[in-house]
Amino acid sequence: MLEIDIITIFPGMLDGFIHESMLKRAAEKGIAVLRTVNLRDFTQDVHRSTDDRPYGGGPGMVMKAQPLFDAVEHLKRDSSRVILMTPQGRQMQQSVAEAYAQPGHLIVICGHYEGVDERVRTALVDDELSIGDYVLTNGVLAAGVFVDAVVRLLPGVLGGEGATEQESFADGLLEHPHYTRPIEFRGMKVPKVLASGDHKAIAEWRRQKSIERTQERRPDLLKNKNF
């Protein structure tokens, strides 16, 4: 079982994500469970404030250390890993998702405003992840992206066996094109080989298309590969 607690000031934003589709199935099967934790429940002032002005001045607000420390300490067990979603983190990759896709307990902190008090990063967090070089107002969407990429890799979550082994990035390449019925649509035909029943030829065609597509769109992925 992989348990994930997401600490956020917008817990409602993940409701649909948790209660529908892939994550719902993972929870029903007892493979993974995602919970949201409202950071405001760990505030100590009447206004339930989670942010404050930055020392040194300047625009924006900074997330306070105390509610985050209290929330993490409340949730934390010996084996927990604490992850902060931030554009300053190491970039999310398929290999990162694979590394986290195992039983355990993850605590994911969603940054908001200008960022979090530096003492959270230095004393509380094990890993910092970015989902790309752009800035969101709200780390909760980034946390959802991270959780989706991880949970779908857990054995038993997706229907088709082997579905995650063949997909884009699984072997460092983009995936080959796919077709389904009909064999001809608006004059566009499905490549003959795919309907030939010749499994060896199909595998070769797919491999070739996969390499061509990667060369065309993401040559950076081929740098350390030999064909």
Closer residue to ligand ADE in complex, CB, 44/91: 91
How many residues sit close enough to ligand ADE to count as binding (CB under 6 A)?
Answer: 12
Tell whether residue 60 is a contact of ligand ADE (CB under 6 A).
no
> Residue 120 or 173: which CB sits closer to ligand ADE?
120
How far, in Å, are 36, 95, 163, 188, 191 from residue 99 at the CA level?
A: 22, 6, 18, 41, 37
Per-residue interface string for the shown chain with ligand ADE, residues 120-139, x marking contact by CB under 6 A:
----------xxx-xxx--x
Q: CB 121 → ligand ADE: shortest distance, Å?
A: 13
Please give the Cα distance from 8 to 139 (Å, whole number): 8
Query: Exposed (0-12), middle (13-18) or buried (19+): which is 86, by Cβ within 10 Å?
Result: buried
Q: Interface with ligand ADE includes 83 (CB under 6 A)?
A: no
User: Is-cis flag, bond preceding 182, omega within 30?
Assistant: yes
Q: Which is nearer to ligand ADE, 113 or 212 (CB)?
A: 113
The answer to whether the CB of 192 falls within 8 A of the CB of 156 is no
Instruction: Name the residue whose CB lies closest to ligand ADE.
Output: 142
87 binds ligand ADE per the rule CB under 6 A: yes
Tell me the DSSP string of 196-209: S--HHHHHHHHHHH
Q: Which amino acid is at 215?
A: Q
CB of 108 to ligand ADE, least distance (A): 10
Q: Does 111 bind ligand ADE (CB under 6 A)?
A: yes
Binding site for ligand ADE (CB under 6 A): 85-87, 111, 130-132, 134-136, 139, 142
